[in-house]
Amino acid sequence: MAAPQWPEMTWRKAFRSSFDGNCVEVAHGPLRVGVRDSKDPGPVLDFSYREWAAFVAAAKAGEFDRP
């Protein structure tokens, strides 16, 4: 979804974002969750709350950890 769909949302940097500019921002809308790159806030990845919850649970479980 394009960024203009998300103008009124409050974007927050991820807690684990690095200090060298590699940052991810998240906005929680009424029906969707948006994720974008803080350096290029144009494109937004758009998730349902169910999709976002599944992603967060998988990340917490270590499914995306490097071997």
Amino acid at 23: C
Q: What is the pLDDT along the chain (67 residues), one digit of tens a residue?
A: 444 466 677 888 877 666 676 788 899 988 899 998 888 877 899 999 999 999 999 999 999 998 8
| pTM of the model as a whole | 0.73
Please give the pLDDT value at position 6. 67
Cβ-count burial 50-67 (b if 16+ within 10 Å, e if not)? eebeeeeeeeeeeeeeee
Q: Cα(24)–Cα(53) distance, rounded to whole angstroms? A: 17
